[in-house]
Amino acid sequence: MMDDMADHILKSRYLLPGEKDFTDICRRVAGWIGRDEAESGAFFRMMESGEFLPNSPALMNAGTPCNQLAGCFVIPVGNTITGIFEAVKQGAIIQMTGGGTGYNFSEIAPAGTTAEPGGAISPGPVAFLSVFDTVSEVIRQGGRRRGANMGILDIRHPDILAFIDAKDKEGKLSHFNLSVTVPDAVMEAFEGGEREEILSIHPATGRENTIGSVFDAIINGIHRNGEPGLLFSDAINRENRTPHLGEITATNPCGEEPLLPFEACILGSINLARFIEESTLDWKRLERTVRLAVRFLDLAIDRSSYPLPENEDAVKKTRKIGLGVMGLHDALILLGLPYDSPSARECAEEMMAFISETAVDESKRLAEVFGPFPAWEGSVWEKPVRNATLTTIAPTGTISLFAGCSPGIEPVYSFAFWRNNTAGAEFEVIHPLFSARLDEEIASLGYHGDEGRARQKAVIEEVRRCGSLQHIGWLSFEFRKLFVSALDISWRDHLLMQAAFQRHTHASIAKTINLPHTTGHEAIREAILSAWKLSLKGITLYRTGSRRASVYSLTGCRWCEREIPYDATE
């Protein structure tokens, strides 16, 4: 169950000597961030209730000798051996404190070409990727978190095909997610069916990288194992709130936080499900929590220690925070809205617009008292605000377990499944809302006693097997429609939900677009184009079953031939 899994993770990675439970962690963190007893008390109640939680480094490190509270970092990678290995060292220092790092390798000379200074032959960006990956394996983020990196390359780099195929075999570069940055001009040509336009010519081999060959490789890679992701560089920089400080070329490991060189960001997420009472959202309580969370995250900037002096300078210049949400799917279920319905997207957009507007208003209030972020003059903000950006949507993989809710804005992967490699253990998970509503559904259909228990067991076993209950016809249509899972939802509806949030999010969004195992290359092509046309900043696509190792696992698959429990026509 989810409580057992959360307790195991707490004991394995989060509890400090003398701490017994999550309440102790909340008390330590709130006490460190708050400026006085009253403020610390408000922060504690917000966290302990599961209404808001900061990112894992804050939970682990606040009030300790490490005291590094940010989860997201971007480190620049130069084009010299000295610059590259300086980035390796800087990344290692950051990962020892629990931070995740993003790197853009586009400045590294193509493999086989002469690199300056000294005239040595460059091994190319892919060779250096393995160096960074090995360091992450050694560091293992202080022994408590798995090292996480984002590796990025511009689509016009001559080594782009080698980069796309760098993770062609499972297990390679296991500490890296890979993404390709693509400008609008290339996407426009791709949309128009242009295949022969040359993106780059490799200076060592003379190979021509055309739009057709590169996008074929990207689509093949996504079909093979879900990588690379795509980052739409012009969309990211159209929303760059401090363009006078430079262009954004990299993100954190999950892609939700585009950052300038050396910037870092402390993230935190509001559990939307906690604000649903009797099928209604409590807007006043949500507003209070948003304002309190903004103050928490802004204070955390000053209460944090930073791995590098460059990090502290960059962070305090822009004071970016990353307030997001979790528990979306749970909230929609409590509201009676199917995740893939237009009404759910309208509700989600209304909630995120409210959160973003409230966060900005609170940042303006803070600016009146403490001053705007130092780089405000020259930014796109017309009026002073305390923070250059305020909202982002993180994956919340672990903190959602502590809050007892669905992760981020993702639909529930499956309402019953096995969760693998969770701090070295495996857990059977049955979603608590689903379990309770299933009991009610079975009783409403007239099944009680042994018959009711048998049907409940059969449904859970089938959902655990294939991740869906849509084919169990004796359950009511309304129940099945409400309890759609990630694999039931079309890629178009996944993207539309992401777009609903992106319209009201300053940074970006960590979201996986789940694809059925049978998805072909043309559908992947359509999804990429749709994401770009929806003005998303990036897209991550994953075809179910394309990797052997996965955090989530089912006992079978939807395409296995097996008798469905009870007659589907019943």
Residues 181 and 154 sit within 8 Å (Cβ to Cβ)? yes
The DSSP bridge pattern shows strands 258-259 and 425-430 to be unpaired
Please confirm, yes or no, whether 362 is among the known catalytic residues: no
The DSSP bridge pattern shows strands 264-271 and 72-74 to be antiparallel
Q: Is residue 209's pLDDT more than 60?
A: yes
User: CA-based Rg of the chain, rounded to a whole angstrom?
Assistant: 24
Indicate the length of the chain as a whole number: 570
pLDDT band at 5 (very low <50, low <70, confident <90, very high): confident
pLDDT band at 427 (very low <50, low <70, confident <90, very high): confident
Q: Which of 55, 149, 252, 311 is catalytic?
A: 252
Angle subtended at Cα 481 by Cα 477 and Cα 482, rounded to the nearest 5 degrees: 120
> Residues of 532-551 as b/e, b for ≥16 C-beta within 10 angstroms?
bebebbbbbbbbbebeeebe
CA nearest to 556, candidates 417, 366, 388: 417
Coil/strand/helix, residue 513 = strand
User: Measured between alpha carbons, how far is 536 from 519 in angstroms, rounded to an integer?
Assistant: 22
Please confirm, yes or no, whether 252 is among the known catalytic residues: yes
User: Measured between alpha carbons, how far is 238 from 117 in angstroms, rounded to an integer?
Assistant: 35
* pLDDT tens-place string over residues 478-526: 999 999 999 999 999 999 999 999 999 999 999 999 999 999 999 999 9
pTM of the model: 0.95
Q: Is residue 419's pLDDT more than 90?
A: no
Q: Which of 254, 347, 405, 466 is catalytic?
A: 254
Percent of the chain whose predicted confidence (pLDDT) is above 90:
88
- Give residue 124's pLDDT: 97
Residues 229 and 136 sit within 8 Å (Cβ to Cβ)? no
CA nearest to 414, candidates 425, 403, 428, 395: 428
Query: What token pair was written down for 87?
Result: 């980035």
Q: Is residue 549's pLDDT more than 70?
A: no
- In the chain the domains, ranked by start, together with CATH numbers, are 2-67+266-403 (3.20.70.20), 72-251 (3.20.70.20)
Query: What token pair was written down for 178?
Result: 């890979």
Residues 286 and 354 sit within 8 Å (Cβ to Cβ)? yes
DSSP codes, 284-313: HHHHHHHHHHHHHHHHHHHH---SSHHHHH
Q: Is residue 420's pLDDT more than 90?
A: no
Residues 534 and 553 sit within 8 Å (Cβ to Cβ)? no
User: Measured between alpha carbons, how far is 322 from 297 in angstroms, rounded to an integer?
Assistant: 8
List of residues 6+ apart from 361 with CB closer than 8 A: none
- Give residue 93's pLDDT: 94
Torsion of CA 528, 531, 537, 543, to 10 degrees: -50
Please confirm, yes or no, whether 220 is among the known catalytic residues: no
Q: Which of 51, 227, 239, 256 is catalytic?
A: 256
Q: Is residue 561's pLDDT more than 60?
A: no
User: Measured between alpha carbons, how far is 233 from 253 in angstroms, rounded to an integer?
Assistant: 16
Average pLDDT, rounded, for the chain? 94
- Give residue 143's pLDDT: 58
